[in-house]
Structure 1
Amino acid sequence: MSETVRRYFEAFNAGDVPAMLGCLDPDVEHHVNEGRVRVGKTAFAEFCAHMSHCYAERLTEMVIFEAEDGTRAAAEYVVEGRYLATDEGLPEAHGQTYRLPAGSFFSLRDGRITRVVTYYNLADWIRQVA
């Protein structure tokens, strides 16, 4: 199953949202660091469109971990990004760059991701772009 997670992150770094969606269960639960849980591929795609508008990001230093039974995985990485457009409730964007440690947790079933949880230090990000 970690191959599914690997493909998901490769698609992220390529900016290939359709390939990311291909890794997801139709009823995927997407838990973001700050905000509500989104359910389903449509909500996930809308989130990705918003993120692509506001941020240009690449994930580096990726380490993927997998539970022995293949039903869960986790990843630790560094987000290297540029803040492109002001996101609601956050500092004004003017092309600031940032480098932020982050992690994701996954639930998997039948070769698909059923849950994505992402964590990062929002205060650190704000400090870097303010």
Structure 2
Amino acid sequence: MSDTITRYFAAFNAGDTQGMIDCLSDDVAHHVNEGNIRVGKEKFAEFCDHMSRCYREELTDMVVFSTPDGSRAAAEYIVNGTYLETDAGLPEARGQSYRLPAGSFFDLKDGKISRVTTYYNLSDWMAQVSA
């Protein structure tokens, strides 16, 4: 199942939202850092559209782990980004770059991602874009 995760992150780095969606179950539960749980591919796509408007990101130094039965996985990586457009409630965007460690956790069912949870340190990001 880690190849599903590898495809998901390759699509992310390519800016290929549809490629990411193709890795998801129809009822995917998307747990975002500092936000509400979004259920379903449509909500995931809306989130990706918003993120693409406000941020340009590439993930590097990726390490993927998975359980022997393939039902769960995790990834640790570095987010290398540019803050493109001011996101509501956050500092003003001026093209600031940032670099921060992050991680994602996954449930997998029938070869698809049924849950994705992402964590990063929001305080670290805020300090970087506010400097």
TM bucket (normalised to shorter chain) is over 0.9
Structure 1: state its 5+ residue gaps.
none
List per-residue Cα deviations over 1:42-62 (Å, max 9, x = no partner): 000000000000000000000
Percent of aligned positions that are identical: 68
Give the CA RMSD over aligned residues. Answer: 0.3
1:1-130 aligned within 5 A = 1-130=1-130
- Aligned residues between the structures: 130
Please give the alpha-carbon distance, in whole angstroms, between the structure 2 residues aligned to 1:88 and 1:37.
Answer: 18
Q: Tell me by how many angstroms 1:118 deviates.
A: 0.1
Please give the alpha-carbon distance, in whole angstroms, between the structure 1 residues aligned to 2:26 and 2:34.
Answer: 23
> Counterpart amino acid of 2:35?
G
Q: Tell me by how many angstroms 1:109 deviates.
A: 0.4
Moved beyond 2 Å, runs of 4+? none
Query: TM-score, length-normalised on structure 2?
Result: 0.99
Please give the alpha-carbon distance, in whole angstroms, between the structure 1 residues aligned to 2:116 and 2:60.
Answer: 18
List per-residue Cα deviations over 1:29-78 (Å, max 9, x = no partner): 00001110000000000000000000000000000000011000000000
Query: TM-score, length-normalised on structure 1?
Result: 1.00
Please give the alpha-carbon distance, in whole angstroms, between the structure 1 residues aligned to 2:13 and 2:65.
Answer: 19
